[in-house]
Chain A
Amino acid sequence: MGNHSDGSPNHSGTVATAGQNEVEKFQDPGIPPHRLRLADTDPRAAKRAERQVALLFGISVVGTLIFLVAYFAIDLGDDSSIATIRLQNTLLGIGTAFAMLGIGTGIVHWAKALMPDHEVSEERHAIRYEEDRQAAVRIVDDIVEETGIKRRPLIRNTLLGAVALAPLPAIAIFGDLGPRPDDKLAHTMWAPQDGKRKRLTRDPDGTPIKASDVTIGSAFHVIPEGLNELSEGKLNEKAKSVVLLMRLDPASLNPSKGREEWGYNGIVAYSKICTHVGCPVALYEQQTHHLLCPCHQSTFDLTQECKVIFGPASRPLPQLPIAVDDEGYLVATSDFHEPVGPSYWERDSHERSINS
Chain B
Amino acid sequence: MSAASTAEPAFVAKTKTGRITDFVDSRVGGSGILREFGRKVFPDHWSFMFGEVALYSFVILLLSGTFLTFFFDPSMAETHYSGSYVPLKGVEMSVAYSSSLNISFDVRGGLFMRQVHHWAALLFVASVAVHMLRVFFTGAFRRPREMNWVVGCVLLILAMAAGFTGYSLPDDLLSGNGLRIIDGVIKSIPVIGTFISFFLFGGEFPGSAIISRLYMLHILLVPALILLMIVMHLFMVVVHKHTQYPGPGRNDNNVVGYPLGPVYAAKAGGFFFIVFGVIALMAAFFTINPIWNYGPYDPSPVSAGTQPDWYIGFVDGALRLMPGTLGNWHVEQIFFGHVFTFNVLLPALVPAGILFTVMFTYPWIERWVTKDDREHHVLDRPRNAPTRTAIGMAGFVWYCVMWAAAGSDLIATHFGVSLNDVTYWLRALFFVGPIIAFIVTKRVALALQRKDREIALHGRETGRIVRLPHGEFIEVHAPLDEYKRYKLVGFESPQVQPAVPNEHGVVTSKEKRRAFLSRWFFEDRVAPATPAELEAAHGHGHDAVEAAEGTKSLTH
Task: Render B298-332 as a binary contact track against A, CB cut-off 8 A, 1 for contact.
Answer: 11111111100000000010011111110000111
Known: A93-B281, A119-B256, A343-B344. A26 touches B486 (CB 8 A): yes
B90 to chain A, nearest CB (A): 13
A24-54 near B? 1/0 per residue, CB < 8 Å: 1110111110000000000000000000000
Assess A30 versus B188: contact at CB under 8 Å? Given A127-B239, A345-B194, A349-B337: no
Which residue from A1, A71, A100, A127 sits with its C-beta under 8 Å from B277? A100
Whether the Cβ atoms of B483 and A238 lie closer than 8 Å is no
Q: Is the CB of B302 within 8 A of A11?
A: no
B530-A11 in contact (CB<8A): yes
B251 to chain A: which residues have CB within 8 Å? 28
Task: Tell whether B115 is near chain A: CB-to-CB under 8 Å.
Answer: yes
Stretch of B268-276, B434-442, B503-511 lying at the A interface: B268-276
Complex Cα spacing A15 to B539, Å: 13
Task: Report the minimum CB–CB distance from B195 to chain A (whole Å).
Answer: 6
Chain A residues near B316: list those with CB within 8 A: 296
Q: Please tell me if B172 contacts chain A, counting CB pairs below 8 Å.
A: no
Provide the bound-state CA to CA distance between A65 and B428, in Å: 56
CB proximity of B440 to chain A, nearest CB, Å: 24
Given contacts A10-B532, A298-B324, contact A103 B263 (CB under 8 A): no
- Chain A interface category by residue count: 35 or more
> Do residues B273 and A100 form an inter-chain contact, with CB atoms below 8 A?
yes
Answer whether residue B490 sits at the interface, using C-beta atoms and an 8 A cutoff.
yes
- The answer to whether the Cβ of B517 comes within 8 Å of any Cβ in the partner chain is no
Q: Does A159 contact B (CB under 8 A)?
A: no
Are B304 and A23 within 8 A (Cβ)?
Answer: no
Chain B residues whose CB sits within 8 angstroms of the CB of A92 once the complex forms: 109, 112, 284
**Which residues of B from 54 to 70 have beta carbons under 8 Å from A?**
none
CB-CB contacts of A171-183 with B at 8 A, as 1s and 0s? 0001001111100
* Contact residue among A7, A90, A352 (Cβ-Cβ distance under 8 Å from B554): A7
**Which of B3-11, B203-211, B220-228, B356-364 interfaces with chain A?**
B203-211
Whether B204 contacts A185 by the Cβ 8 Å rule is yes
Instruction: Check: A272 CB closer than 8 A to any chain B CB.
Output: yes
**Residues of chain B within 8 A of A282, CB atoms compared:** 300-302, 304
Inter-chain contacts of A14 with B (CB < 8 A): 532, 535-536
Whether A78 is near chain B, meaning CB under 8 Å from some CB there, is: yes
Assess whether A223 is interfacial by the CB under 8 Å rule.
yes
Task: Give bound CA distance, A7 to B162, whole Å.
Answer: 52
Contacts of A88 in B (CB 8 A): 108-109, 111-112
Please determine whether A277 and B180 come into contact, CB atoms closer than 8 angstroms: yes
Instruction: Give the nearest-CB partner of B259 in chain A.
Output: A120
Give the docked Cα–Cα distance between A15 and B544 (Å).
15
CB distance B184 to A342 under 8 Å? yes
**Residues of chain B with a CB closer than 8 A to A311's CB:** 320, 323-324, 423
Query: Is B482 engaged at the interface, CB distance under 8 Å to the other chain?
Result: yes
Whether A261 sits at the interface, judged by CB under 8 Å, is no
Partner of B324, one of A178, A179, A242, A276: A276
Which residues in chain B, 232-250, are within 8 Å of chain A measured between CB atoms?
Answer: 239-241, 248-250
Q: Which residues of chain A come closer than 8 Å to B551, judged between CB atoms?
A: 7
Contacts of A107 in B (CB 8 A): 266-267, 269-270, 273
Distance between B293 CB and nearest chain A CB, rounded to angstroms: 10
**Neighbouring A residues of B298 by C-beta, 8 Å:** 204, 235, 238
- Contact indicator A29/B299 (Cβ below 8 Å): no
Question: Is B468 at the interface (CB under 8 A from chain A)?
Answer: no
Given A5-B553, A79-B84, the answer on whether A297 and B408 have CB atoms closer than 8 Å is: yes
Pick the contact of B206: A110, A174, A239, A296 (CB < 8 A). A239
Residues of B within 8 A of A352 (CB): 337
Taking A8-B527, A105-B270, A110-B266 as contacts, is the C-beta distance between A344 and B339 under 8 angstroms?
A: yes
A119 vs B248: C-alpha distance when bound (angstroms): 12
Contact B204 A295 (CB under 8 A): no
For B284, what are the chain A residues with a Cβ–Cβ distance below 8 Å? Answer: 89-94, 96-97
B181 near A277: Cβ-Cβ < 8 Å: yes
Smallest CB gap from A103: residue in B: B273
Distance in angstroms from B371 CB to nearest chain A CB is 12
Interface string of B171-206 (1 = CB under 8 A from A): 000000100110111011111111101111111111
Instruction: Please measure, in the bound complex, the distance between the C-alpha atom of A353 and the C-alpha atom of B341, giving whole angstroms.
Output: 20
B275 partner residues in chain A, CB cutoff 8 A:
104
In the complex, whether B254 has a CB less than 8 A from a CB of chain A is yes
Taking the closest CB of chain B, its distance from the CB of A220, in whole angstroms, is: 12
**Given A23-B530, A177-B202, A101 contacting B277 (CB threshold 8 A):** yes
Contact in complex: A174, B199 (CB < 8 Å) = yes
A106 to chain B, nearest CB (A): 7
Q: Are A314 and B270 in contact (CB under 8 A)?
A: no
Assembly CA distance A32 to B180 (angstroms): 60
Which A residue sits closest to B485, measured CB to CB? A26
In the complex formed, the residue of A with least CB distance to B239 is A127
Q: Which of A89, A180, A310 contacts B115 (CB 8 A)?
A: A89
A93 touching B553 in the complex, CB below 8 Å, given contacts A11-B533, A294-B305, A314-B332: no
Task: Say yes or no: B180 contacts A235, CB within 8 Å.
Answer: no
- Pick the residue among B187, B257, B556 that contacts A344 (CB under 8 A): B187
Listed A/B pairs (22) with beta-carbon separation below 8 Å: A26-B482, A29-B486, A74-B108, A76-B106, A97-B280, A98-B277, A104-B271, A105-B270, A108-B267, A108-B270, A121-B256, A238-B299, A277-B181, A279-B302, A280-B300, A298-B324, A312-B347, A314-B324, A342-B184, A343-B339, A344-B197, A345-B194
| Across the A-B interface, the 9 shortest Cβ-Cβ residue pairs | A93-B284, A277-B184, A104-B273, A6-B527, A107-B270, A31-B249, A101-B277, A100-B277, A104-B274
Interface residues of B, Cβ cutoff 8 Å to A? 40-41, 84-86, 104-106, 108-109, 111-112, 115-116, 144, 177, 180-181, 183-185, 187-195, 197-207, 209, 239-241, 248-259, 262-263, 266-267, 269-278, 280-281, 283-285, 297-306, 316, 319-325, 330-332, 334, 337-339, 341, 343-344, 347, 377, 408-409, 419-420, 423, 482-483, 485-486, 489-490, 492-495, 527-533, 535-536, 544, 547-548, 550-556
